[in-house]
Homo-oligomer: A and B are copies of this chain.
């Protein structure tokens, strides 16, 4: 039977450690880490995410600033606001909540944030540093997965890892990170995606599977070998009349079939999600220490 990789508990431990460090900083009269978040428009989900991030900051004792703008601001206006945060020495980290209105270029916005303040790790320069194994901000979900593998002391060296999904924010960085000459890493990595004709042919021989394609219960029991480590990044709202909310959160892994075969598996919810949130705090702390 699989050991559950408890992201909630692991993230809580990380948060407590960060909170302790902030107390120490305060006692020594040092600068408190400060995260700024920009939210454009009034999308409900985006507002929820940003609110969580701000609340997470408060809980560990960070300062936070939420800048909200209407959906009809111009791109230039937003870029100016980013410049202002870049120039503000009190602010260590800046995130711009995505998606943005269609008339604003994500590429321009992402590249405008000072790499030293880019705690989302989306700036090309930070992505490149990750590829080159240089100190950098690793984006929150991959960073959270790395921390979870570390916490559970998962053996990765020489293992075959199959990553499903090649998104810029999860699948692609995950495939790069796990192939680097480091721990967790040193895996032989196969990156599968929508154009892979037979994903099961790869997952069946995998020691580690990272499912990040966003299709609920895609990974079935017969696609996984005995003893595999399975990381479920998916989190989709599936209608569920038995729940008060009317939906349940479903991962990319058919948990009841897959988990009996695994050595380790992440649950959904309570696996990768909380680790993602904790990672943003870790990156903000790194930014305030000017380590990256």
Binding site for B on A (CB under 8 A): 107, 123-132, 134, 157-158, 166, 168, 172-173, 175-176, 179-181, 186-193, 195-197, 202
Evaluate whether A131 and B189 lie within 8 angstroms (CB atoms) in the complex, with A158-B195, A195-B157, A195-B158 already known.
no
A101 to chain B, nearest CB (A): 20
Residue in B123, B126, B157, B202 whose beta carbon sits within 8 Å of that of A188 in the complex: B202
Task: Find out whether the CB atom of A181 lies under 8 angstroms from the CB atom of B166.
Answer: yes
CA–CA, A195 and B196, complex, Å = 25
Q: How far is the CB of A110 from chain B (nearest CB, A)?
A: 9
Add 9 more A-B contacts to A124-B127, A179-B191 (CB < 8 A).
Answer: A107-B132, A123-B125, A124-B125, A124-B128, A124-B129, A127-B128, A128-B128, A132-B168, A186-B195
State the Cβ distance, A207 to closest chain B Cβ, in Å: 11
CB within 8 Å for A189 and B191 given contacts A127-B128, A131-B131, A132-B168: yes
B193 touches A191 (CB 8 A): no
Residue in contact with A127 in the complex, picked from B132, B186, B195, CB distance below 8 Å: B132
Q: Verify A193–B202 contact, CB threshold 8 A.
A: no
Q: Who on chain B is nearest to A180 by CB?
A: B166
A188-B195 CB under 8 A given contacts A131-B128, A131-B172, A134-B124: yes
Closest Cβ neighbor of A188 among chain B residues: B196
Give bound CA distance, A179 to B163, whole Å: 12
**How far apart are the CA atoms of A179 and B123 in the complex, in Å?**
20
Q: Inside 8 A of A176's CB, which chain B residues have their CB?
A: 131, 172, 176
Complex Cα–Cα for A179 and B129 (A): 19
Closest chain-B Cβ to A205's Cβ sits at a distance in Å of: 8
Q: Output the least CB separation between A54 and chain B (Å).
A: 27
Tell whether, in the assembled complex, residue A128 and residue B123 are in contact, meaning their CB atoms are under 8 Å apart: yes
**10 A-B contacts, Cβ less than 8 Å apart?**
A124-B134, A125-B128, A127-B127, A127-B128, A128-B131, A158-B195, A158-B197, A175-B179, A175-B191, A179-B191
List of B residues within 8 angstroms of A134 by Cβ: 107, 124
